[in-house]
Amino acid sequence: MTTSDPRTPHPWHERTIEFDGRSIAARQWGDPAGEPVLALHGWLDNCASFDRLAPLLPEINLVAVDMAGHGRSYHRSRDANYNIWEEVEDVLGVTRTLGWHDFSLLAHSRGAVASLLTAGAFPERVKRMALIDGLVPPPAQDSEAPETLAKAVAQRARYGARKPRHFDSLEAAVQARANGMFPLSEDAARRLVERGSVPVDGGVTWSNDPRLMGSSSAKLNSAQVQAFLDRASMPVRLVLAQDGIVEILERLPALLQDRANIAIRTLPGSHHLHMEGGAEAMAEWFGPFLRGDAD
């Protein structure tokens, strides 16, 4: 189904991608004959995260998905988790259903981490990655494993019983999102909320699965992070937000200084700069790269 929005002059196609009993909702942008690119959003966001950037990349075949538990996509079964590495199987399922043997990844934050895990596990499938304010998870110490598991089990029970937050109106939800952990403009918040909420009696609630709030049952240590980076040898362009997550700005440049395949550029803006004023500069750098015209 072709959809348009007065805020976005270029139309997109709504897609439902089904595989292995799972249903992933998506928006398809650009040229269906162009280079295939899968877009993965950040934690508690959805595919509307790319509404401002996608129209600036018209020559690629861009499919932006609602990842599991987000937006309008399926929620994992009650006996499953939202560990970050489980996204890899969904990436492969989506691209298989789309008929893409190899493809590139455009991703933000948590989606960028899922992209690295996919590229490290299946480097023959991923041609290049354009990443926004994220790449690797903070490495864990081996000694933290028991506490990590205990915390995850407790949180799974807690969030599994939690009902999504209720708002009296869509406007109230937009304001809550705009003033959340990562402050957003009203426009960016509205785009995410319109995609990521459902109407109920007396207002709206989030469509996200509350279990997404739980932590992973295990985390990668430094050697494992390095192993994924070693295997992900394809060209990578990484944009860091000047006013983004401090830990990322402090940790990543040193971690990546000897990796010639990863180019880093810092742009003005906050963590969601691709939804704000940073979209144009980002598209200028990412566009030729994702088309395969530059490394």
Q: Using the structure block, give the residue that is written with the tokens 């990842």.
A: 67
Q: What is the mean pLDDT of the chain?
A: 94
> Which residue do the tokens 């992973």 mark?
216
Both tokens of 143, joined, read 């000694």
Query: Is pLDDT of 4 > 60?
Result: no
Helix (H, G, I), strand (E, B) or coil at 148: helix
- Out of 29-33, 162-166, 234-238, which region has the weakest mean confidence (pLDDT)? 162-166
Long-range contacts of 179-182 (CB under 8 A, 24+ apart): 182/270, 182/271, 182/272
Tell me: the pLDDT tens digits for 148-173? 999 999 999 999 888 899 999 999 99
pLDDT above 70 covers what percent of the chain?
97
- Mean pLDDT value across residues 106-132: 98
pLDDT digit string, tens, across residues 48-94: 999 999 999 999 999 999 999 999 999 999 888 999 999 999 999 99
The answer to whether 204 and 170 are in contact (CB under 8 A) is: yes
Q: What is the pLDDT of residue 79?
A: 86
DSSP letter (8 states) at residue 261: T
291 alpha carbon, distance to own chain's centre: 20
DSSP H/E element including 188: helix 186-195
Structural element, H or E, at residue 35: strand 35-40
Q: What is the pLDDT of residue 8?
A: 63
pLDDT score, position 3: 65
**Does residue 10 carry a pLDDT above 80?**
no
What per-residue confidence (pLDDT) applies to 1?
61
Residue 2 predicted with pLDDT over 70: no
Structure tokens at 16: 């439902």
Please check whether residue 67 is in contact with residue 113, taking contact to mean a CB–CB distance below 8 angstroms: no
Reported confidence tier of residue 99, pLDDT bands at 50, 70, 90: very high
Q: How many CA atoms lie within 13 A of 199 on its CB side?
A: 0
Q: Give the whole-angstrom CA distance, residue 46 versus residue 141.
A: 31
Least confident of 132-136, 142-146, 246-250: 246-250
How far is residue 269's CA from residue 117's CA, in Å, rounded to a whole number?
Answer: 26
At 44, list the tokens: 């508690």
In eight-state DSSP terms, residue 24 is: E
> What span, in angstroms and rounded, lies between the C-alpha atoms of 208 and 41?
13
Confidence (pLDDT) at 71: 98
Report the alpha-carbon distance of residue 197 to residue 55 in Å, rounded: 23
Helix, strand, coil shares of the chain, percent, nearest 5, are 40, 25, 35
pLDDT for position 7: 64
> What is the pLDDT confidence band of residue 42, given thresholds at 50, 70 and 90?
very high
The set of catalytic residues is 109
CB 57 within 8 A of CB 286: yes
- pTM for the full model? 0.95
The sign of the dihedral angle between the CA atoms of 229, 230, 231, 236 is positive
